[in-house]
Amino acid sequence: MVSERGLEVLRVIVHDYVESREPVGSKSIVDRHQFGVSAATIRNDMALLEEEELIAAPHTSSGRVPTDKGYRLFVNHLADLRPLTAAQRTAIETFLGNSSDLDEVLSRTVRLLSQLTNQVALVQYPTFSHASVRHVELVRLSGTRVMTVLITDSGQVEQRVVEAPADVDEAFLGELRAKVNALVGGALLGEAAQRLGDLPGMFRPERHDFVRAVTAGLQEQVAAGRQERLVMAGAANLVLTEDDFSGSLFPVLEAIEEQVTLLRLFGEMRAGEVDVVASIGRENESFGLSQTSVVASGYTANGGEIARLGVLGPTRMDYSSNMAAVRAVARYLSGLLGDR
């Protein structure tokens, strides 16, 4: 059983090790923190923490570092979520508030979160299982190219370029645009994909090749709105913390590239709408990420669907600051998307 003072010793070991990346010794604790006891007493507390496998000696020095179990106890009971500074909050509002559509919002979100935490930032696209088609636009780019633009009621915008025969004029594009919107406007994405199959039959045979190309493009756009995917930023931050990983960084980078791995991890973490959760070290072993930690939270997209965002980095991370940043960005993102 760890005493209250022992838990406080664990807290300062985590803080000091995260800050310095140097093993923490009893003398350092006495010199830097006001415990009011001798170094010998602190050594006894550290010995009990080591028996509980909350700290360990990385080599023969007297210093100790937190274990995955120690980080878990710290996150569950000891971490104080440090409030963001006024400058950081202003940066969130300014940087995200200027976004024009969902793609830009999420792209800005990961860039901002990476800058705030110095970790790899991850944001899951909402799957929009309840989203519907607001409008489809067809834009002639040149004599043989037409852009199809699918806009949902959640603010998502998907674009494709379709090769068109030269004899497709603006009058025909207008007719096609009107029939597409009459067919799928207001329909849920799943329904829209099925309805689009009827589109070629609404036109003369000589128009079928082009209409089928438009149909295929729109069906791809609908599917893109329904699939799970991530947007990421800050992978270069891993290089700055390379010494925190034993061996090569390649397995971590490979896992990051495999979005399905991170989506599965996000799914198992089950971060709620406002909760911040962490998955630490060996808890991520089955995903090939046993030397990393992930801090995540849920955010609410238009329509009430919850998706996730978070950061990934080495287990030696500033959990207090990272959890506060993830929570603040998730809350702001929920409010921003709810207003769209």
Average pLDDT over residues 133-140: 92
Q: Same domain for 305 and 247? A: yes
- CATH number for 143: 3.30.390.60
Average pLDDT over residues 288-312: 87
Average pLDDT over residues 298-309: 80
Nearest-angstrom CA–CA distance, 274 and 80: 16
Structure-model confidence comparison of residues 252 and 54, the more confident one: 54
Nearest-angstrom CA–CA distance, 67 and 57: 10
What pLDDT does residue 300 have?
85
Most confident of 222-231, 295-304, 327-336: 327-336
Bridge partners, 11 (sequence order): none
Q: Same domain for 44 and 154? A: no
Number of H helices, E strands in the chain: 13, 10
Q: Same domain for 325 and 236? A: yes
Q: Same domain for 212 and 233? A: no
pTM of the model: 0.76
* Domain hosting residue 235, numbered range: 86-127+228-338
- Phi, psi angles (nearest 5°) of residue 280: -120, 130
Q: Same domain for 123 and 141? A: no
Across the chain, mean pLDDT equals: 88
pLDDT tens digit string along 225-279? 666 788 999 999 998 888 898 878 888 888 888 788 888 888 888 655 558 999 9
What pLDDT does residue 220 have?
85
* Contact assessment for residue 214 and residue 196, using Cβ atoms and an 8 Å cutoff: no
Total number of domains constituting the chain: 3
What pLDDT does residue 303 have?
63
